[in-house]
Amino acid sequence: MEDENNKPPENAAETPPVNTTEPVQQSANITVPPVDTPRKKHRPRRTVVVVSVAILLVAAGASWFALQRANKPAPSQQDTAKLIEQAKKANTQAAPKAASFAVQKLANGDSVVGKETWFKTPIKLSLSDYSILKTQDPDWMYVQQVGSMSDGTKIVLFSEAQDGGEVGALLLASGTSLKLVESASPDFFYQGKPVDDLAPGVTIDSQTTFPELNLPQTLQINGKNFTNTKSDKLGIHITLPNAAKYGDTDYGPVYKDVHITSDHGTYQTVGYYVQTYDFHWVFYQPEPHLTSINKDTITFSDGTKNDDAYTETFRGCGLGAYEDFLTDNTTNVTAAGTVATGQQLYALADLANTELGSDTLKNHNEQFSDSPLTQDAYLKLRPILLYKNTLGSYTALFNEKVISGGGCGKPVIYLYPTKTTNVSVKIDATIKKSVPAYNGGWNVVAQPNGLLTTGGKAYDSLYWEGFGLTYPTVQDGFVVRQQDVAATIDSNLQQLGLNAKERADFAAYWLPRLPHTPYVRLTWFGTAQMNRLAPLHISPRPDTLIRVFLDYEGLSSPVTLPTEHLTALPRNGFTVVEWGGLQNALQ
């Protein structure tokens, strides 16, 4: 998306859920810290922690321009039709196969799977007794025993707050032996190697696997098929204030989260989360689950085809939102047409007078104030279509001409090898703009002072814009007055390890593009989050990788937000630095 449309997202108001279409078992507005309950050593036990999860939601009507997985080209009409057909068939397909493992529930709430006993409640451990990394900060790092093996080996969860999010790893601890389980610790590995310096004596276990932690794409919950549309797991310490117990699976309990995102409760966002045995959260939605419909794939009731594409709501420069946008105007729904596979689509009969319809138009015109839509022009676009899932809920799909696109805004990559080096750089993202030309990757000659040459031209950095994979969750940050934004950003970037030139480059690009509201929220995503959003593949492999990405929001008044913990890596050896920010966020 173009730079001039860059505005921040608006928070959705959180009020109690109403008009849900299926029952829940119990309410849960809970945050579970590490628990310190002692256990008898001779009695192995199991933990399934009810950790609450919170997701910053998009504002009323805030939707984003969806693309395919970022390591693939934009979807063709044929590709989209296949996706729609698969989603439609999911409504009637056979139930997913049972898990390849058996779960035995113990009376105390623990669960036994094979040789593992997973605890219902974790045991807090002392970080000083588990020297996992060479440098450890007890204020931001935690270790908990989450289970045990049949031979008494402890299953230990290590978690670390890290630049706008958190990362986790599983370890096997027996006596003085401490092994990092590679298959269960993806956050700690990049291009097959640990991203942090492991403490002496810590070894990597590349053999152990826990099938109960590898959730399938399709799960049956309460007799209905649900699908996982996001590849990553959510962190273990974030909260889901509106969570309610919804069901159980062999992979862990399921919680439903409902947020009312409209002033009068006529539309809302709903998501379903499986809590895994290692206390992460995996997102599922009822089938069918459509994420987008390409142009010319809908036959409307009047026989015409759609000139525009449609997409679900989401946030950021990746496939970020973890909840479907639902409407409760079920008595005001009429048939609108079908997709090529025959799946029925619906519309709100009196869209202009519905809250969802009016909010979507209002938000569009506020962002694109230089080219606002009249109500007649808006309605002619058929701006909102609905499809019905197996739970009876109507999910909204938005015409891409009336929603606000998000993108990764001007990520800039600096390369500092220790000597002049031929460097190859590739990104798992859909690249929309690049300097120099990306062409499937960059191959440059990099010098220690950061000068890059390719194609006979010199550059001081690599620049790109586009769409990544799953967008991180906003959990903390800084809420600052407008007059303090520039100074805060410079201080934050210095804490994150950027040098004077990099900070000046960032300020020159982003300060004019930030909202001019009385207050601004600033949240920084770091290397771990960016390695998920837009993985970098660099050869030769850098010794130090620093990635910084700004998510922001304009505020009319201050809000309470946990303060973000910022840290910097020392620049050792071949160093790569990248900064970027959220493009075209909706204010």
Q: In the structure encoding, which two tokens stand for residue 351, read together?
A: 């869209």
CA distance 222 to 205: 36
> How do residues 177-220 score in pLDDT, each as one tens digit?
999 999 998 877 766 777 667 888 899 999 999 999 999 989 99
pTM: 0.60
The closest of 514, 531, 530 to 478, measured between CA atoms, is 514
Task: Tell me the sheet residues that pair with 49.
Answer: none
Average pLDDT, the chain: 77
Q: In the structure encoding, which two tokens stand for residue 478, read together?
A: 């800084």
Find out whether 142 and 127 touch, Cβ atoms under 8 Å. yes
Q: Is 219 helix (H, G, I), strand (E, B) or coil?
A: strand
For tokens 């994979």, the residue is: 469
Whether 431 has a pLDDT exceeding 70, the answer reads yes
> How do residues 392-415 score in pLDDT, each as one tens digit?
888 888 888 887 545 566 789 999
> What is the pLDDT confidence band of residue 448, given thresholds at 50, 70 and 90?
very high
pLDDT at 135: 80
> How do residues 341-369 score in pLDDT, each as one tens digit?
788 999 998 899 888 888 888 877 765 66
- Average pLDDT on 511-537 reads 86
> How do residues 4-46 score in pLDDT, each as one tens digit?
333 333 332 232 222 333 433 433 433 333 333 333 322 222 2
> What is the pLDDT confidence band of residue 547, given thresholds at 50, 70 and 90?
very high
Higher-scoring residue by pLDDT: 515, 254: 254
- Average pLDDT on 372-383 reads 94
Whether 301 has a pLDDT exceeding 70, the answer reads yes
Higher-scoring residue by pLDDT: 446, 354: 446
CA distance 429 to 466: 7
CA distance 393 to 380: 25
pLDDT at 212: 96
